[in-house]
A and B are shown apart, each in its own frame.
Chain A
């Protein structure tokens, strides 16, 4: 699976380059990670369902991260950043759970 290799390559790159996160972007990092996880699990499930689509995966990842960051940014400006972050995490968390349940059904037939 070449995408897994790419993922591993990204991990290696991150370890090797050891980048520092700009202060302005730091609040969005956890949200971006959750959004990325959502895209990853969605992609894995689609792959197992046999309906994986490259374009859909790329677009869903980018839009997830951007929308999540936008919501948090708006929340920060409005003074409800914490609550909106919670909202984003809940919504994405529910989706991750659902997708993992789907993956589990594929893998264990249970």
Chain B
């Protein structure tokens, strides 16, 4: 017996059933969304009525199938409500969890800030006590060293570089912010600015009030920029104390040129201002984990070299 080859005939498909071939599933689905059982039942009823030869009185009593229908209807209403309430109940749980996490983050951040303030106070106290204990010359030398290494507060004239994200491009279709946002300030940008400022002769740099020292890090974690593991938010302000011609040198540097191009291309904001009497905070104490200071005073040059260069 030869296999029938017309099973896949597009004309035949979806047409009348014959030879045991069903029309394919999707066509059937689109053409007859109603359960065929309804038509069958109606036909059976008509046949029964024809056989009985007289119209049977319409059933008004609650027969078993009718009762079941009502039960099922009630069940469906019940189901709809349950599903609705389930979805509604789920939503606040999700937002609650999120809010809880945000609260925790803010809490921890507040704790960190408080501890940091306390550490700064204690450090001030230590410095005062130390200054009292040391003679003037040694204390002055220590202060100089601290200023150079970034462990002491410094003030002076300098430059403030402000850089900010471009306004987020808005997708014209969805009205949402679109995915690839090229106008964002990256950790690399801040690194380049800081390095260019060092090169232009800066003696102390702080980003949004975070003092940079030799072990400082500028990194990205997700969307946030971390300086020494503290998240910063834009616009970013890089303040630097340095010589008078620092602004000119920075503005004419290749980094500044690059950023001016970025401003033109992506609409980021980038401003360089000269500012007098900048005051930069001290960096948090770097923790020595492996190195240990020597007990005996090391042979060091007797004269304190003025703080210039040497980075």
Contacts and interface: CB of A to CB of B under 8 A. Distances in A.
Interface string A78-110: 000000000000010011111101100000000
B294 interface: no
Interface in A14-31: 14-15, 18-19, 21, 26, 29-30
A94 B34 CA distance: 11
A38 B86 CA distance: 20
Contact of A61 (B33, B45, B65, B72): B72
A14 to B, nearest CB: 3
A14 B78 contact: yes
Interface residues of A, number: 50
Interface residues of B, dominant DSSP: helix
A13 B34 CA distance: 29
A55 B65 contact: yes
A49 B83 contact: no
A10 B78 contact: yes
26 contacts: A3-B69, A6-B69, A6-B70, A8-B77, A10-B79, A10-B81, A11-B77, A14-B79, A14-B80, A18-B85, A29-B83, A29-B86, A36-B80, A49-B34, A50-B42, A51-B41, A53-B37, A53-B65, A55-B65, A56-B35, A56-B41, A57-B69, A58-B69, A91-B29, A99-B34, A102-B34
Interface of B: 29-30, 32-35, 37-39, 41-42, 45, 63, 65-66, 68-83, 85-86
